[in-house]
């Protein structure tokens, strides 16, 4: 059997996925998307899942886009099916019940940028390059870029990036809010360790409830969203986690979640 293009490393429920297709700068073809969807479906079912971090193999590229060689000869119907496959996979990533973080370690173009946008937040190495260059290929973003990019950086900046196809560096990505942090590539590993410690150490139910409140609340009007927050706040008091967290504070010790 050929090797999986998705490497999975599990550190007590904080799972790091590495997309590995080095010959094509980790471009997303149908096989990579199928495997990613299979891995995400497995993770989704795990009660012990705490967070998912996603990155690209090597030091040059996160993901250089959808696979152009594979797309080149597609008919409109085949293109629609390919986009639907990718959208379903990215939806699965977006709706995982735990925090998801893109670790952008190089080129993050087209479908790569769309993959990062399906994560809750992104951090980038200082050599990262971002862009939605689809118009240079005679198409538009097809993996959610025209919708998730304006929601993250605003419609004017999304139109700027998507209609010019220009590439931006990590500093500009940080300035426009496409990424949360930029660091030297050599520091990405220690960032992963820090995140693993933080996300692995916090109360898993409250972390999941936080994500649910923010994600679902953003789709609702403010009053409904505030009511959702209240319901989830109360839900947190229904388990052992809140008792342990608050008792640990009062007893001046670390909580054990």
- Active site members: 114, 134
Find the part of the chain contacting ligand CAA (CB under 6 A) among 9-17, 65-73, 178-186, 208-216: 65-73
Is 67 an interacting residue with respect to ligand CAA (CB under 6 A)?
Answer: yes
Which of residues 5, 56, 99, 142 is near ligand CAA by CB under 6 A?
Answer: 142
User: Given CA atoms 109, 110, 112, 115 in this order, what sign does their dihedral have?
Assistant: positive
- Identity of the residue, 113 or 213, whose beta carbon is nearer to ligand CAA in the bound complex: 113
Among 11, 20, 24, 126, binds ligand CAA (CB under 6 A): 24
Whichever of 109 and 182 has its CB closer to ligand CAA, that residue is 109
CB of 148 closer than 8 Å to CB of 161? no
Determine, following the binding rule CB under 6 A, whether residue 137 of this chain makes contact with ligand CAA: yes
The Cα–Cα gap between 106 and 170 comes to 9
CA atoms within 13 Å, Cβ hemisphere of 91: 7
Q: Are strands 61-63 and 107-109 parallel, antiparallel or unpaired?
A: parallel
Q: How far is the CB of 143 from ligand CAA (least distance, A)?
A: 4
Examine residue 133 and tell whether it contacts ligand CAA (CB under 6 A). yes
130 binds ligand CAA (CB under 6 A): no
CA-based angle 127:131:134, to the nearest 5? 145
When binding is defined by CB under 6 A, the residue of 66, 117, 124, 168 that contacts ligand CAA is 66
Of 61, 89, 41, the residue nearest 8 (C-alpha):
41
Burial of 77 by CB count in 10 Å (0-12 exposed, 13-18 middle, 19+ buried)? exposed
Closest to ligand CAA by CB, 104 vs 143, is: 143
Among 19, 27, 117, 179, binds ligand CAA (CB under 6 A): 27
Pairing of the two strands 14-19 and 51-56:
parallel
Chain residues binding ligand CAA by CB under 6 A are 24-25, 27, 64-69, 107, 109-111, 114, 133-134, 137, 141-143, 145
């Amino acid at each position: 059997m050929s090797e999986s293009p998705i490497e999975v490393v599990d550190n007590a429920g904080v799972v790091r996925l590495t997309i590995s297709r080095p010959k094509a700068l980790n471009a997303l073809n149908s096989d990579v998307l199928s495997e990613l969807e299979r891995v995400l479906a497995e993770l989704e079912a795990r009660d012990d899942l705490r967070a998912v971090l996603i990155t690209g193999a090597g030091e040059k590229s996160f993901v250089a886009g959808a696979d152009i060689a594979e797309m080149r000869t597609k008919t409109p119907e085949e293109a629609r099916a390919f986009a639907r496959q990718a959208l379903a996979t990215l939806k699965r990533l977006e709706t995982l019940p735990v925090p998801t973080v893109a670790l952008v370690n190089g080129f993050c173009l087209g479908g790569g940028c769309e993959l990062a946008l399906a994560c809750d937040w992104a951090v980038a190495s200082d050599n990262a390059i971002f862009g939605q260059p689809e118009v240079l290929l005679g198409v538009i973003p097809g993996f959610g870029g025209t919708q998730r990019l304006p929601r993250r950086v605003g419609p004017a900046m999304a139109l700027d990036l998507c209609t010019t196809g220009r590439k931006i560096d990590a500093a500009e990505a940080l300035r426009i809010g496409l990424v949360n942090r930029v660091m030297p590539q050599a520091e990405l590993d220690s960032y992963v360790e820090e995140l693993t410690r933080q996300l692995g150490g916090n109360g898993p139910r409250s972390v999941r409830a936080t994500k649910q409140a923010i994600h679902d609340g953003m789709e609702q009007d403010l009053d409904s969203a505030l009511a959702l927050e209240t319901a989830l706040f109360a839900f947190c008091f229904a388990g052992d986690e809140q008792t342990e967290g608050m008792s640990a504070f009062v007893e001046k010790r670390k909580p054990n979640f």
